[in-house]
Structure 1
Amino acid sequence: MRSRELAWLFVALTLSISALSSVSFLADRMQRAFALDARQLLVSDLLIASDQPLPARFLEEAQSSHLQIAQTVVFPSMATVASHSKLASLKAVSAHYPLRGALRVQTSAQGQILTSGPQQGSVWVDPAMLASLFAKEGDEIKLGQKTFVIGGILEQELDRRAGFMNFAPRVMMSIADLESTGLIGLGSRVTYRLLLVGSDKQIKSYEVWANQFIEAGAIKGVRIEALENAQPMMRKTLERSDRFLSLIALLTAMVAAVAIALSAHRYTRKQADACAVLKCLGASSVTILKREGITLLALGLIAALLGALLGYLGQHILTLLLDNLVMSDLPQVSFWPVLWSVLVSWCLLFGFVGPAIFKLVKVSLIRLIRKEFDDLDISTLWTAICGLGTAIVLSMIAGARDWEIGSMD
């Protein structure tokens, strides 16, 4: 506790853990927020699409897995108001649609954020469709064999995609009314979708089962879309944001490495005298090694607790500073940033101090008379190179959370 060099090493280690954890807390929360926003563009966690009605087995397995379920049916059709007709992209949705995100519907001159589809007998219409049909809210619109009331103007639909069937203006209706329209028949260009929401474990398990079921039954025209393989532009955005935040953590780890390296160098050179005295008093190499190891371990544990606390407070300050830039609410913090920040800092600590400690074990008694620190021998030099190289590579890869970025740096 009286060692000034050890105090500086403690400060450097604490600051490195707090800096790494604070940046990692924010990066982790933003990455999870981006992933949540991306799932809202899918309006689900997992989506199964087909050009034929899906076998009932998909629905039964989802129910047995306790997943939230919604269904949509999309196809082109003609919509008629009075004497005006226009090609529409008709979308029939179940009551629980959308499972993620929300629809924005304007009704009676007021915008509403809704988390369920239209009621039976009512449809929501794209503004472009109303303009083309010279219609307004409350008018009747004919779809196939049934007449509906225009109950609202559909202003936002998160999962609308480009394509032939979505090129025309949207008309959204309840899936319970679909059969009564008589629109689906032989040769209809229909896309059936099953939307699923659940925990990551449940979704992954269901995805594995669905792939096996499709392969075993040789089912054609069925595709599975998840966050990893849906909407290329969205996937690229997620990858870029992940790399950007990883680079921030990487730069923080590099600065922490410099601070720990300088402090470790001063500490180990100061300890040379103490180790020489211990050897004069009969201490063995194992005793010195154990003493230094316990000291560093205790130092690391205390620095980990204090650094994690400072990092937690620091990420709150960063969140407040970025309040105007972050539009969505960030998820709560997780334990992972603390864990990997401590591991990276410990890797740097033992990587920089470890080789020098092995040299301290072999320190000569002549050290008490001649103050120079003996030159490193070949074995210690190779140990230092391997230790430092491993520490730096592992810390960079862990700091970047991307082996390609970490390896390049």
Structure 2
Amino acid sequence: MKLFSSYNRILLVISFAGLFIIGVLFYKTLAYYLDRQIDDGLVEELMEVQDFTHEKNILPAPSYYKDLVVEYKNIIKVLNKSSFADTVYYNPKKKQLEPARYLKTDISLNDKAYQVLIMYSKAHRNEEIRSICLVIIIPFLFLLLVLFWVNKVLIHKLWAPFRQLLVNIKVFNLNHDQSFEPVSTQIQEFKELSNAIEDLSFKVRSDYKEIKLFTENASHEMLTPLAVINSKLDTMLQSARLGPEESETLSDLYKATSRLTKLNQSLLLLVKIDNNLMMDTEEVAVMDMIKEKQAFFQELIHKRNLRIELHLDPVYLIVSRQLFDILINNLFSNAIRHNYEGGLINIKLTETSLSFSNTGKSGLLKEEMIFERFFKDPASDGTGLGLAILKQICSRQQYQLSYHYENQLHIFKVKFNKN
């Protein structure tokens, strides 16, 4: 949920809760004071009855006016007790049930006890209460809506620099020469935030350039001595003056330096992928690229007597040709290297996915670890970076890379994201 939506929701809940509580209290208070006025009227009516009784020595006739009812009832004795309460009665004048307020008391006349009941209709007073509440609540609700709209406009305007900062942060890219663009604002907090992000972007860009330069220089400088070592070792291995023990030692050194060269190249490739240095895109005919790679690996496939099954649909993707070439190369290399003599490689290409299935020397691999860097089978002589490179390429291209083991086949599947 967005900050503005959350704030407005809390504001609305508090406002309506406050309005409800204040409305109830106002209604109760107003009803209380109106009841007191009615009670005063009932007392005055009772006093008129008592005055009439003292003067005439008889009870006045029962009254049934539009909103007033006066009734008498014989009782055993006078209790000298008066009570006020609410009730509902049938108004014979209006021919309907109405709420009323009544006063019930006892009087004595000619040694006889009578109960006097005086009722006054509250229908008119209830209408007054509703009218007063509407007169107050409707303008208040209108004012609340106006304040809510003004608050929304002000918040939208006040937070505009913050939203612009978010946009500038999202478009900021370390690989581009354009620096972070600060936001001009009069709000002190956003100005400090913009300045802090600008300073941080300069520091990050500077550190990134230094690390990138160091990585590229280190990798480049390592390639030259490694090439020299490989060349010298190759020359020495061809010498006829070496004994069996020396030849074996030099062969081990040659393998180690070759592995170190591959490791250096793989790490440099990962750095380039991580830093989006290979993101030039074009339309690639995937089926043709797979067939080209098959021809490239044909000698290894024939040497190990591997059987290739192809199920290829003509698929075209907008993708980095260089990255996709590395992806297919690593899938082929992985399927050949970890296969056994006379094994099977099944390649399936559809509009939505590319899968490489191959037999292997080992069973199910650890799905949660096979794409981690430097994870490899103990029997493998690889660098442990091939599948990590696959994962990184798929991540940059927003593809889904998965592995599962089925029918004694290791299946690596790349699901395309054509959007």
**TM class, shorter-length:** under 0.3
* TM-score, with structure 2 as normaliser: 0.20
* TM-score, with structure 1 as normaliser: 0.21
Rg larger in 1 or in 2?
2
Structure with bigger RCO (C-alpha 8 Å, 6+ apart): 1
